[in-house]
Amino acid sequence: MNYDKKCQLLIIGDSTVGKTSILTRYTTREFNQNYLATVGLDFFKKDEVFNGETIRIKIWDTAGQERYKALTQGYFRNAEGIMIVFDVSNLDTFENLKYWIESIKTHINIEKDHIPTIIIGNKVDIFEREVAKEDGEKFAKEQNFEYFETSAKSGKGVDECIQFLVRKVLKNQKREESDLDSIKIEEEEAKNNKKGKKKDKCCNKD
Ligand code: GDP
Ligand code: MG
């Protein structure tokens, strides 16, 4: 299938928070109750239409190495948007968000490179929460990130948060394109000016 643009995202967070389940739900509409630690899939892919353009969305998933906190520079390469996930029924995974944010920041400059980042509280179908929605929202706000809640099990919120992130990335791509365009125009103008000056010189001589 053909596509107009590409969008590359990555997902990060403690092991068992539901990262693989969120991506499986998004791409196949399915949910697996069993722990999928060794799916061995590096990335998930889905084509979706935004504003009449087909976008190839590629989302990198950790293949279990997050358990050893062993994510490499390569994992972060070319990421245009980031999802950081915790499990609302497990306080530890919420407290570890700080670690994951630090870890991302050692590899990429989120602010300077305008990498849109969202925080996702997953497993909201579980009645006994250890993290209230307000606490998730407050933390995300402090970090300057958007906050979403999902259930990979029921599907609630999954499409919305990924589509939000893709839209942000597409906006960035557009801005970069127009920045490039204006640089090209400036270069063109500078060249023309130079030519003009040369001409002036030559003509003055004559
Ligand atoms: P990962 O290690 O972050 O990739 O987590 P997985 O996607 O492998 O999920 C870990 C476990 O949590 C699996 O048993 C899933 O079935 C379960 N799980 C994932 N998402 C949800 C959810 O939204 N609700 C519930 N109740 N369980 C979930
Ligand atoms: Mg996984």
Distance 20 CA to ligand 2 centre (A): 4
Candidates 10, 15, 16: which one to mutate for ligand 1, based on the most atoms within 8 Å of Cβ? 16
In contact, 110 and 117? CB cutoff 8 Å: yes
Whole-prediction pTM: 0.86
Cα atoms in the 13 Å half-sphere on the side-chain side of 81: 26
Place of tokens 């935004």: 50
Tens-digit pLDDT profile for residues 31-41:
877 755 555 55
> What was the pLDDT predicted at 13?
94
Q: How confident is the model at residue 112 (pLDDT cuts 50, 70, 90)?
A: confident
Distance 92 CA to ligand 1 centre (A): 15
Closest-CA residue, ligand 1 atom 22, reads 123
> What was the pLDDT predicted at 39?
55
Q: Is pLDDT at 128 greater than 90 in this prediction?
A: yes
Q: Is pLDDT at 200 greater than 60 in this prediction?
A: no
Q: Is pLDDT at 202 greater than 80 in this prediction?
A: no
Q: Is pLDDT at 15 greater than 70 in this prediction?
A: yes
Q: How confident is the model at residue 182 (pLDDT cuts 50, 70, 90)?
A: confident
CA distances from 176 to 40, 99, 109, 169, 171 (A): 34, 30, 16, 10, 9
% residues pLDDT > 70 (the chain): 88
Q: How confident is the model at residue 204 (pLDDT cuts 50, 70, 90)?
A: low
Place of tokens 């490179």: 113
Distance 123 CA to ligand 1 centre (A): 7
Strand-by-strand arrangement of the 43-50 sheet:
43-50, 53-60, 5-13, 81-87, 117-122, 146-149
